[in-house]
A = this chain, B = another copy of it.
Amino acid sequence: MIKAGIVGGTGYTGVELLRLLVQHPQVELAAITSRTEAGTAVDAMFPSLRGRVALAFSDPASAGLARCDVVFFATPNAVAMNEARALVDRGVRIIDLSADFRIRDVAEWEKWYKATHSCPELVAEAVYGLCEVNRDAVRKARIVANPGCYPTAVQLGFLPLVEAGCVDLDHLIADAKSGVSGAGRKAVTKLLYSEASDNFAAYAVPGHRHWPEIRQGLARAAGRPVGLVFVPHLTPMVRGIHATLYARVAREVDFQGLYQKRYSGEPFVDVLPPGSHPDTRSVRAANLCRIAVHRPKESDSGGDTLVVLSVIDNLVKGASGQAVQNMNIMFGIPEAMGLNQVPLVP
């Protein structure tokens, strides 16, 4: 059994980790911490877990995290960077669901996250945990930077094209729509039901923190810098990301075949038949990314624009599910263990 700890378990990625870990046959949940909720029974805060989680939130200092095999950070940004060093030195492996170790260029990170990074040397060591790209490196990693939700949907959607170099890499467009849970369990006005429901808007068009993360990943895949316009939107649903991706064809290939081949061995990426329109519902509550590739022929410009549709559940493949997938890889157990939930429909 893998002894697992969770730091910061009161947010949505935290409760989703709990949902997945209590059903995982090889995991023993050893501790879950929260400074503000220390002493509160987990199932008092989340009655959905009554009878499933007997732990109380504990103070990080006394939680015994150093005795865990793996610790998940489900914390706000700029927390894990202060606590990772001590755990890694004690031999604890870390999966960080926040952004602290995602951006290799520390100056870039500091610019977007408006903080001084306290642990740049671990940034250099950390493995970016997009399993479909870095599986081998994840296996041996001491610290995994679990990807962001938008970056997961957008990168998985663009990767086959970018790796093959068959589209205009200077003008990629990602028009992404996220359910409200992607903004976290934070009491802010614009996330209120009465504000976010029956409403739709773009946000952060001038610049969003996931932009440098996506661009970094695509640039690695391309072997050169890429140009990317990324426009996130808030859509009135709880879970789900739908990324609509646009790329100009630079070289003709069998695009459907390209995607099928790229993801043929992947347990959690599903390339749909031609003509499909995946809905976010079809991956809800499951660790899946479904992708469809379109080339709308009706266009005076000769049909040279590809449209790729990529959907995930932001809390599963976009966060906690992918974290468990990374854990499975790190500990050499079957990659899909504990991740066989069937999507919830309706």
Contacts and interface: CB of A to CB of B under 8 A. Distances in A.
20 contacts: A15-B345, A47-B272, A49-B342, A170-B301, A173-B246, A175-B175, A175-B246, A177-B235, A179-B198, A187-B188, A191-B192, A195-B346, A201-B311, A202-B307, A206-B294, A206-B298, A227-B300, A229-B305, A231-B296, A236-B236
A201 B307 contact: no
A330 interface: no
A39 interface: no
A237 interface: yes
A239 interface: yes
Given A52-B342, A235-B235, A229 B299 contact: yes
Give the interface size bracket for A toward B: 35 or more
A56 to B, nearest CB: 15
Nearest to A205: B294
A137 interface: no
A311 to B, nearest CB: 8
A334 to B, nearest CB: 16
Interface in A30-70: 46-52
A248 B230 CA distance: 14
Contacts of A299: 227-229
A186 B187 CA distance: 9
Given A185-B192, A305-B171, A345-B46, A177 B177 contact: yes
Total identical chains: 4
Contact of A187 (B187, B242, B277): B187
Nearest to A241: B200
Nearest 5 CB-CB pairs, A to B? A227-B301, A201-B279, A48-B343, A193-B196, A170-B301
Contacts of A263: none
Nearest to A242: B200
Interface centre among A181, A200, A205 (most CB of B within 10 A): A200
Nearest to A230: B296
A233 B15 CA distance: 25
A48 B345 contact: yes
Interface in A127-180: 170-171, 173, 175, 177, 179-180
A33 to B, nearest CB: 19
Given A19-B344, A200-B237, A205-B307, 6 more contacts: A50-B270, A177-B200, A185-B194, A192-B192, A206-B294, A229-B299
Interface of A: 12, 15, 18-19, 22-23, 46-52, 170-171, 173, 175, 177, 179-181, 185-189, 191-203, 205-207, 211, 215, 225-231, 233, 235-240, 242, 244, 246, 248, 270, 272, 275-286, 290, 294, 296-302, 305, 307, 309, 311, 315, 340-346
B346 A181 contact: yes
